[in-house]
Chain A
Amino acid sequence: GENVEQHPSTLSVQEGDSAVIKCTYSDSASNYFPWYKQELGKRPQLIIDIRSNVGEKKDQRIAVTLNKTAKHFSLHITETQPEDSAVYFCAVADEKLTFGTGTRLTIIP
């Protein structure tokens, strides 16, 4: 089955700086890659996704890049703010979501 690795497991960033989270996957047939943000005690919520026919997608301060050949994709958050503090999960989707192990992002004011 699909195997998704995510790094780093924890990340502390000064407010205003950028944060990057990276994921690799194993199944080259995968073609949909969502990112979820989970705040403490809350449900995972989709923040951005990318399909295999594009290499990059941006939504305000959040961007995702995908390298299908290398089977890795990354989340980039620019101009980080305290409310970006959360656990972020990458996922690879077919008939189910296979999640990465999560990154706990802490924004230091």
Chain B
Amino acid sequence: DTAVSQTPKYLVTQMGNDKSIKCEQNLGHDTMYWYKQDSKKFLKIMFSYNNKELIINETVPNRFSPKSPDKAHLNLHINSLELGDSAVYFCASRGGATIGAETQYFGPGTRLLVL
């Protein structure tokens, strides 16, 4: 259950603030992701990193900046928070693209509420 972990679990903040969410995986995976789940439960990819390099950026506003200090960590910093940023943010990781390694494992989620 602690294979992919995120902190904090809950985050309540005011509009305009800057906040960070941290993610760590101890699975030895090369690829990590950030997904956003909105109030209607839609799950959508935001970013993907492979061995610390950005490989996917799905037209996310520049206020969102991912950072990967090493392949086990992928953090998400959000500047100038807006009401529409309220959502659950899930980190995920994957071993690779080969058969048997393509399963993605999700963290427990960070519930962000912007007031």
Contacts and interface: CB of A to CB of B under 8 A. Distances in A.
A89 interface: yes
Chain B residues touching A, majority SS: strand
Interface string A48-79: 01010000000000000000000000000000
B63 interface: no
Interface stretch (B15-23, B64-72, B73-81, B105-113): B105-113
Contact of B42 (A43, A44, A102): A102
Interface residues of A, number: 20
Contact of A101 (B42, B90, B92, B106): B42
Contact of A102 (B41, B55, B102, B103): B41
Chain A residues touching B, majority SS: strand
Contacts of A46: 103-105
A108 interface: no
Nearest to B105: A46
B41 A87 contact: yes
Contacts of A89: 43
Contact of A97 (B42, B45, B109): B45
A46 B103 CA distance: 8
A44 B90 contact: yes
Interface of A: 32, 34, 38, 42-46, 49, 51, 87, 89, 93, 95-99, 101-102
